[in-house]
Structures are given as structure tokens and as C-alpha cells.
Structure 1
Amino acid sequence: MNRVYFFMVMCFIADWYTYQAVKTTFSNKWIHRVYLLISALIAAYLVVGFSNFDGRNGQNHHTLIVLGLFLLVYVPKMLIGLFLFLEDISRLFIGGVNRVRSKKDPKYIPSRRKFISQATLAIAAIPFSSFIYGMMKGRFNYRVIQQPIYFADLPSEFDGFKILQLSDIHFGSFDNPEKIQYGIDLINQQEFDLLVFTGDLVNNFAKEGKDWVEMFANIKSAPFGKFSILGNHDYGEYTEWTSETDKQRNFKDIQALHPKMGFQLLNNERAKITKGTSSLHIVGVENWGKGRFSKKGDLNKASEGLSPDDFKILLSHDPSHWELESREHPRNFQLTLSGHTHGMQFGIEIPGYFKWSPVQYVYKHWAGLYKEMGKYIYVNRGFGYHAYPGRVGIWPEITLIELKKRG
């Protein structure tokens, strides 16, 4: 509760500083009044929205709107508050110096500089417009990323083998069939031998798939099959259940969605892919994540009977599993495919040159390809979205991985 009060105080301070910037920049009092009215209405809507959150319903379209509006309004305001707070420190310092020099001057603290307020409002407009774009366009700005990966021990007959990876669909966040169909059409335009999905089909409930399963079932078949695993959201852990029976029924219903879309769900299991006289193994584990996340993944069970020399592709939703367990596993998982992070749906990427997101301070491996100890992990940025109903800079991803034999 103390954290809630602290958070509310911080929001109030951000509101107050933003009002100071508006007053300093605009002399028209009607602008001040309109700003106060709009701010009060938004604040009231957010308070009611957060107060009425029902844990039994989990995250739904209404909570997405509430959280999206909060980020849209208060991230820019907190940025304004930070700049004007720094200006206040400068004003107080200058005022202290002036007070020492001239004790007779009652106006020893300088007024706010209009230029600073104008510049702060202009800077805050950048995240404001970015969040709007992210919600209107960015969440559907699908990108196909082609990623060749080279292996010395890849069976020769799999040289050029193409795997299409999807991750983090999150049915419960979708609201635009036309845009989702565009993403599926983009998938169907690709040429691939195998299709994998690396977890988080829903936000909480199997019923979220009602309007979308048939659409995703229309993804074209792959010559060597479609395989999937579960993510942390697929266990129904982020909602309140009236009984354990209801929770388990929901979990079974979520798993039942996978074959309806043509996927073979691998729960700590593996599948053998044969091409000519050679083979590779798709190893799929249940969710395993660091910290508070469940650790249901069982590498030993999933890879039982395999040797270190067998070529293996591990499907594991959370990339922290690779860092903390699978990377150094004695059975030697040459390639791991993960998702989970979404790249936080916010960041800056210049392909091949620069990549940054706040999520990198939580996850070492958060987007794209990484190589350590002779092993690879590819972290998909996610097809859908969750919590914030948009994407800024980190776009929804369809990954086309090509396995290459290193000579």
C-alpha cells in the first residue's frame, strides 16, 4: 500500500510540474483551465480504471486501454517533471547566491525561464507521439527478420533448412482481425521447412482464442511439421481462480488450442526430424524462468536418449533458461529458440548497428541472435503485445531462420 501512495504522489508531482510548464509557456488562462479540466478527467478515469481491476478477469481490452492511457499521459509528464525539477535546483542555487550578495532584494529566486518550459514540452511531445503511434500503427508493424546461423556440426542434408519462428501471440490482447490477418498473410508468403511457436498463446484464458484460432489455423502447412511449447502466461497464473479445478480445466483447454491450429505441443518432449539419411531433434520444454517465474521445464526428460553429438534445437520460452541452465547442459543444445521479453515493446533499433531497450537491464539476452560457449540462442521479439497495447521501435516479429553448414 505504501508503494501505491508513493506512486500516486509521484504522479501528482508530475501533474503539478506539467501545469507549471503550461502556465509559463502560455499566458492565456483559458489554456490553463482546459489543461486542468482534461488532466482531471484523465486522472479520474485512470483512478476508476485501476480501482475496478478484477483479478478474476485478468488483463482484458479495458485494462489495456487504461494502462496505455497511463503511459501515454504520465511518461511525458514525468519527463517534464524531471527537467523542471532540475531547473528548480538551479533556481534555488542561484537564489541562494543572490540572497548572500543582496539581502535587500526580496526576489532573489529567479522566475522560471519560458525557454526551458517550451523546450521541455517539446521534448515530452516525442514520447507522447511515439506512444500514440505505437498504439495506432506500431503494434501491427510486422517485420520479417531473416537470420542465417552457421554450425560446424549441422548434418549436411539440413544445410539451407528454414525454420519460421513465432512467439508471444497473446490472443487476449487482439482487437483488429484485419491487421492480424495481414500478419498471417505475411507468414504465408514465406518459404519454410518447419514452423515453431515458442509460447504465450494467451494472456490468461483459453476462451481468448475463440475468435482467432481459426485464423491462425490457416497458416500454411510446413513440410516437416509445426511444433509449439507453453509460455508463462499459458498456465493461468496471472488471474484469480475460484477453484483449482477451474484453473486446471482452463490449462487443459489452452493446450487443446494448439492441435486446433495444427501444432504439435511439446511438453518436455522431443520430435525427430528426418531428411534423407540425416536427422535433427526438436526438443520442447515447459516454461522455465528466473525469479518468480515457474520452473516446469525438464531438459533431462525432454532430451532423454539423446547424445551430445545429436543436433538439437531447443524450444524454451524464457531466454533466462538458456543463460542459467540449458547453455551449459552436457547434452549440448546447439540452438535455442525463445521469446518472452517482447523487447519490452519499446526501444531503439538500427539493424546491424544499434539496439537498446529498458528490458536489457533485466534480461541479458532479449532480442535477436546471441552466441556464447559455441551455442546459439535466438530471442524472438513477439508477434503480439501485452500490457502496453502498442509497440515503439521494437516491432512485432516473424523470424525466418536458415540453418547453414559451416565448411
Structure 2
Amino acid sequence: MLSEGTLTEKGVPLNRTKENIKRLKFLHAPIYFVWGNNDYEADPEAIYKLLCEVLANAHHNITTENNGSISVLGLDCCYYKEARLDLAMENSAGEYYILITHAPKAFYELTTEDQKNINLVLAGHTHGGQIRIFGFGLYQKGGLERYDKTNVLVSEGYGYTGLPFRLGTKAECHVITLKC
């Protein structure tokens, strides 16, 4: 289970966030979380205590059933902290690298050499533009794209910012199955 940030935001009661995390834990899967800008605007210390694994410029190595290895790399939110791939990669041992970042721009701002090390990027932040009129919005729509040799999935997420609604974009949650 991976979360690319915006688990909560300022004004959302902590009990609601606790209940959402409790529901995720019911799935009996590890939860990896990276900070989003709205998480920093709420109560980061309280949120940190609720989570199992926070990947803020850090990684977690996973051994697959056939003894392969995947490194899940998490970057801190580039709007409030420095996103440091060098720290996330330190002592990582994956044959396959998944980068989780709240804002897609954190991946696109990496050097070309660093981008080549990443197999899959999972990001969000944009909410698909939240409000789109005739297909146009402030941010690009979410979706899966190929960037050089890296798959980049930008989720439109299920929240909103400012105005409590969406127009021309859908709320979404992704289930990804990796076959190694």
C-alpha cells in the first residue's frame, strides 16, 4: 500500500485521518507514505505517529517471492522540504526502483542520469487540475505515460484543494500489481 501524500489537510479532524488509516491497515498490507504539501499544513507530528513507514528521502527494500528485489524510494515534499534522491537511494539494493513522490515535478527535475535509475514513478498533487473546463485546467490530467524508459503514473487522487468539489476530473485510487 503506497500513499503519495495529501493524507489530510488543515481543518480536517485528526480522528477522520485516524479512521482512514485504520481502514487501510485492515487490508493487512504494508503502508508506505510520503509527505504532501497539505500534510505539512495540518499537524505533521500527529500524522507521523499514526503511520507505519514514512519514506521522506528514504527507501524500503522488498524481497520478491523469487528472491528478486524492489527498492521503494520516497521523496519528501518538494514544496516544504528538499526532495533528495541521493538520500533515498543510499544503501538501496533493488533490481527495480519505484519512486514515490507527492509532486510529479520532483521526478522531472532530477538529472537525466538519476531519471534513468527509476523504473516506475507514482505521484499525485495535481488533482487532475480539480476544475477543468472544456478539457483545460491549471494542471495536467492524471494518467500513465512513458518518459524515456520510465513509467510515470500521476494520480488525480480523491481530494480537492480550496473549493470542495471537482469539475471535469474524476476522483481515483489505483491498485497496481507488479509481476516480478
Q: TM-score range by the shorter chain?
A: 0.7 to 0.9
Change in Cα spacing, 1:339 to 1:326, as seen in structure 2 (3 Å) is: farther
The equivalent position to 2:132 in structure 1, one of 328, 342, 347, is: 347
The one-letter code matched in structure 1 to 2:62 is I
Does structure 1 conserve the Cα–Cα contact (< 8 Å) formed by 2:35 and 2:76?
yes
**Partner residue, 2:82:** 296
Alpha-carbon separation, structure 1, partners of 2:108 and 2:17:
33
**Partner residue, 1:93:** none
Whether 2:8 is the aligned partner of 1:198: answer: no
Structure 2: give runs of 5+ residues left out of the alignment: none
Does structure 2 conserve the Cα–Cα contact (< 8 Å) formed by 1:339 and 1:381?
yes
Q: Deviations over 1:26-52 (max 9, x none)?
A: xxxxxxxxxxxxxxxxxxxxxxxxxxx
Does structure 1 conserve the Cα–Cα contact (< 8 Å) formed by 2:21 and 2:50?
no
**Partner residue, 2:55:** 266
The equivalent position to 1:374 in structure 2, one of 131, 135, 149, is: 149
The one-letter code matched in structure 1 to 2:152 is I
Residues 111-122 of structure 1 aligned to structure 2 (within 5 Å)? none
**Partner residue, 1:284:** 74
**Partner residue, 2:99:** 314
Q: 1:255 offset after TM fit, Å? A: 1.7
Q: What TM-score, normalized by structure 1, do the two folds share?
A: 0.40
**Partner residue, 2:137:** 358
The one-letter code matched in structure 1 to 2:54 is L
Whether 2:164 is the aligned partner of 1:389: answer: yes
**Partner residue, 2:174:** 399
Q: Indicate the SS of the match to 2:49.
A: helix
The one-letter code matched in structure 1 to 2:72 is I
**Structure number, greater radius of gyration:** 1
Whether 2:14 is the aligned partner of 1:235: answer: no
Q: Indicate the SS of the match to 1:213.
A: helix
Q: 1:377 offset after TM fit, Å? A: 1.0
Does structure 1 conserve the Cα–Cα contact (< 8 Å) formed by 2:7 and 2:17?
no
Alpha-carbon separation, structure 2, partners of 1:403 and 1:326:
26
Q: What TM-score, normalized by structure 2, do the two folds share?
A: 0.85
The one-letter code matched in structure 2 to 1:299 is L
Does structure 2 conserve the Cα–Cα contact (< 8 Å) formed by 1:286 and 1:296?
yes
Whether 2:124 is the aligned partner of 1:305: answer: no
Q: 1:330 offset after TM fit, Å? A: 6.2
Structure 1: give runs of 5+ residues left out of the alignment: 1-194, 238-249, 350-355
